[in-house]
Structures are given as structure tokens and as C-alpha cells.
């Protein structure tokens, strides 16, 4: 009940933030909201855009939930997204002869493993060398971007060797599309399955329980003899796997090839999505749908008002700060109660 109330509170706060942002920039509120809603849900194409944009947000956002709940501030979602996709492209090249329905899952597995490996390295650095993941994941983001630049001009470049791009995947290897006219692909279901899996993992399994204990109260974790280091490395590895998988879904669902334009900051954008979703899988599901819709709808707004995704970023920034401020205010209230 309390969770439902908090959820309704955040949801109305998000809508309010949208309205306030429009007012602050002096935009016609009714008309702008109308355009955004129409662009996000009004047509089949819009709806498909919304879902397709929500998909990487959801996957990376779930990744953030797992890592942050364990006290690992993974901000390397972007790098894990890239390295995952690179691992996928490498597998696609290795097994180029395989039939599509067989190759696609192989690629997706590779992307998850690639992201997990990079993230696990950052986790190991923190646990055994005392290097905070905040710092190491920033460093690794740069390394990943350079690796992408190198790969698409080197070992993974297209056979023609003209453009800095990988070969385009054949259509059979791509994720299924509901209608070739629209972007909507089966990756949406992969993301939803991941949502269910993360939810079950965090709330029903022993490993998920340990993860939360380590993040919330290291002292209790020690008393319970929970191996904190191993748990944290596992958490960030899972987080990286989800971000890598997001890269794989984007690769085999949308772009079909990799180039320097492939990273679209989904890994960064997932952080506010995860925070506003209350670091809870269901909350992240709703938040990613909301921001996916805003991104899709703001494309429509761009055509009329000349304003695009920057509006969405503003909303994310304001909402996170408001959320943080409210949280601090509530905690102060709780502490005052304790003292009374």
C-alpha cells in the first residue's frame, strides 16, 4: 500500500514536471502535450517508436537497479552497451554461415557476456583494489568508445572496407518485426522477460536477498557471513550483462550494423530512469515507458516547435533533483520522529 502510494506520487510528479518544464520554456502547454501524446501513442508508428525507445531504457535501467541496490554505482552502462554489441558483432562474423534463428540468440548471449565481463572487471577493481566503480566505469566508457572506433575500422569492418561500419546483418538474423513498416521488434519481449526475471531474482531468490543486504547494510551482511565482495561483483556483472544485452537488442533489432553513431547514450539515460523508478523493477518498467514515450513524442514536437529531446533531458534532471530533495526531506522527518 505504501509502495503504491509512493508510486502514484512519483508518477504524478513526473507529469507535473513535464507541464512545469513546458511552462518554464514558455511553450503552449495544451498543444505541446497534445503533440507529444500524439507522437508517442497516436499512431501505430508512434506507438512502435515509443516501445522501441523504452526497450534499451528498460534493459539498462534494470541493470542499474541490480548494481545500485548492491551499492555498486555503475555508471558504465554506456561502455557495457558498446562492448556487448561489439562481442555480438564478433560472434556474428565468426558464425556468419549459421541460419538466422540460430545465430540471433548466439549473438544476444555474446552481447550479455561481453557487457558482463567489462562490468565484472570494474567490480573486481573495487572489491580487491579499492578502486571505486564510479571512477573505473568512467574510464572504461572511454576505452569502450575507442575500441568501437578501432573495431569498425579494423577487424570488424565491412567486407568492402569503405565505410567505418560493420557488415549489415542479413534480415533472417535480425530480431523479428511485427510489421516491416514499423520499428517494433521482438526485443521488447526480451526486455519484458528481463523485467520479470529481475523482479523474481531480487524479491524471491536467496542471491537477490543477499545482494540487497550487502547494499543496504554492510554490517548486517558481515554478521550474516554474506561474502560482500563476491556478491557485489556478481551484482555488477549482472548489471553489465543487461546493458550488454541492451546493446545486442539495439544491434539485432534496430541498426543491424555498428558504427560510431551506434551509441545513443541509452546507458547514461538509464540512470535517471532507474532512480525515478525507485530502483525497483516495476518502477523502472513504468519509468522507461514514460521516457520512451517522451523521447518518441518529442520527435513529433520537434517538427512543430523546433524543440526535441533536450526537453526530455531537462525533465529528467528536474525530476531526479526533486526526487532526491523530497527523499532527503522525508528522511529528515523520519529521523525527527525517531528522536521524539
Partner 1 sequence: MDFAVLMIFATPVALAAIGEAVGQRAGVINIGIEGMMLAGAYAAMVATQATGNPWLGLAAGGAVGVALALAQAFFTLKLAADQVVAGTALNLLSIGVTGTLFQMRYGASGDLMSLPKLVAAGAPDPIAWGTVVAAALAGWVLMRTRWGLAVRAAGEYPRAIEAAGYDAARLRLQAVAIGGLLAGIAGAHLAVGINGSFGENMVAGRGFVAIALVTFGGWRPLWVYGAALLVGWADAMQFRAQAMGLAVPYQLLQASPYLIALAVLVVVGRGARAPASLAVPYRREK
Nearest to 298 by CA among 25, 35, 29: 35
Tell me whether residue 61 or residue 256 sits nearer to partner 1 (CB atom).
61
Q: Which cell is 209 given?
A: 536477498
* CA dist list (Å): 7 to 183, 215, 277, 323: 30, 22, 8, 12
- Select 147 or 282, whichever has its Cβ closest to partner 1: 147
139 is a contact residue toward partner 1 (CB under 8 A): yes
Size of the site for partner 1 (CB under 8 A): 47
Pick 73 or 178: Cβ nearer partner 1: 73
Q: Residue ranges of the alpha helices (H) in 205-250?
A: 206-216, 218-223, 228-250
Q: How far apart are CA 35 and CA 292, in angstroms?
A: 15
CB 317 to partner 1: min, Å:
3
Least CB distance to partner 1 at residue 332 (A): 8
Q: What is the distance between the alpha carbons of residues 55 and 296, in angstroms, rounded to a whole number?
A: 12
Look at the alpha carbons of 99, 100, 102, 103 in this order and tell me if their dihedral is positive or negative. Answer: positive
> Among residues 71 and 115, whose Cβ is nearest to partner 1?
71
Binders of partner 1 in range 165-224 (CB under 8 A): none
d(CA 303, CA 299): 7
Conformational region of residue 256, where left means phi above 0, alpha means psi within -120 to 50, and beta covers everything else: left
Q: Which of residues 250-269 bind partner 1 (CB under 8 A)?
A: 268
Minimum CB distance to partner 1 smaller for 60 or for 75: 75
Instruction: Verify binding: residue 327, partner 1, rule CB under 8 A.
Output: yes
Q: Considering only 38-46, 81-89, 146-154, 167-175, which stretch makes contact with partner 1 by CB under 8 A?
A: 146-154
Which among 90-98, 150-158, 202-210, 243-251 is the span making contact with partner 1, rule CB under 8 A?
150-158
Taking CB under 8 A as the criterion, the residue among 62, 112, 125, 233 binding partner 1 is: 125
Least Cα distance to 198 among 137, 279, 114 occurs for 279
Binding interface with partner 1 (CB under 8 A): 25, 73, 75, 125, 129-132, 134-136, 138-143, 146-147, 149-150, 153-154, 268, 271-272, 275, 302, 306-308, 310-318, 320-321, 324-325, 327-329
Amino acid at each position: 500500500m505504501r509502495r503504491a502510494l509512493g508510486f502514484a506520487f512519483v508518477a504524478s510528479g513526473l507529469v507535473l514536471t513535464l507541464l512545469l518544464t513546458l511552462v518554464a520554456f514558455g511553450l503552449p502547454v495544451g498543444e505541446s502535450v497534445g503533440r507529444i501524446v500524439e507522437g508517442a501513442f497516436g499512431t501505430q508508428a508512434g506507438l512502435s517508436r515509443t516501445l522501441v525507445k523504452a526497450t534499451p531504457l528498460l534493459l539498462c535501467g534494470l541493470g542499474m537497479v541490480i548494481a545500485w541496490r548492491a551499492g555498486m554505482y555503475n555508471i558504465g552502462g554506456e561502455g557495457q552497451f558498446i562492448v556487448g554489441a561489439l562481442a555480438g558483432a564478433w560472434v556474428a562474423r565468426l558464425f556468419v554461415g549459421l541460419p538466422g534463428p540460430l545465430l540471433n540468440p548466439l549473438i544476444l548471449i555474446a552481447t550479455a557476456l561481453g557487457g558482463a565481463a567489462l562490468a565484472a572487471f570494474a567490480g573486481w577493481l573495487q572489491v580487491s583494489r579499492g578502486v571505486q566503480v564510479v571512477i573505473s566505469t568512467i574510464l572504461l566508457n572511454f576505452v569502450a568508445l575507442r575500441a568501437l572506433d578501432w573495431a569498425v575500422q579494423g577487424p570488424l569492418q565491412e567486407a568492402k572496407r569503405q565505410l567505418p561500419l560493420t557488415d549489415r546483418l542479413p534480415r533472417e538474423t535480425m530480431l523479428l518485426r511485427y510489421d516491416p513498416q514499423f520499428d517494433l521488434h521482438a526485443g521488447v519481449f526480451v526486455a519484458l522477460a528481463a523485467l520479470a526475471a529481475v523482479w523474481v531474482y531480487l524479491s524471491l531468490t536467496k542471491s537477490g536477498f543477499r545482494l540487497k543486504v550487502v547494499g543496504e547494510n554492510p554490517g548486517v551482511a558481515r554478521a550474516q557471513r554474506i561474502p560482500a565482495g563476491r556478491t557485489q561483483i556478481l551484482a555488477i556483472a549482472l548489471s553489465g550483462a543487461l546493458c550488454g544485452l541492451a546493446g545486442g537488442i539495439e544491434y539485432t533489432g534496430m541498426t543491424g550494423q555498428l558504427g560510431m553513431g551506434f551509441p545513443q547514450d541509452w546507458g547514461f539515460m538509464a540512470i535517471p530512469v532507474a532512480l525515478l523508478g525507485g530502483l525497483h523493477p516495476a518502477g523502472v518498467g513504468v519509468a522507461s515507458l514514460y521516457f520512451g514515450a517522451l523521447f518518441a513524442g518529442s520527435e513529433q514536437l520537434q517538427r512543430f516547435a523546433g524543440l526535441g529531446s533536450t526537453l526530455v533531458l531537462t525533465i529528467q534532471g528536474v525530476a531526479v533533483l526533486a526526487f532526491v530533495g523530497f527523499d532527503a526531506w522525508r528522511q529528515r522527518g523520519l529521523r525527527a520522529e525517531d528522536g521524539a
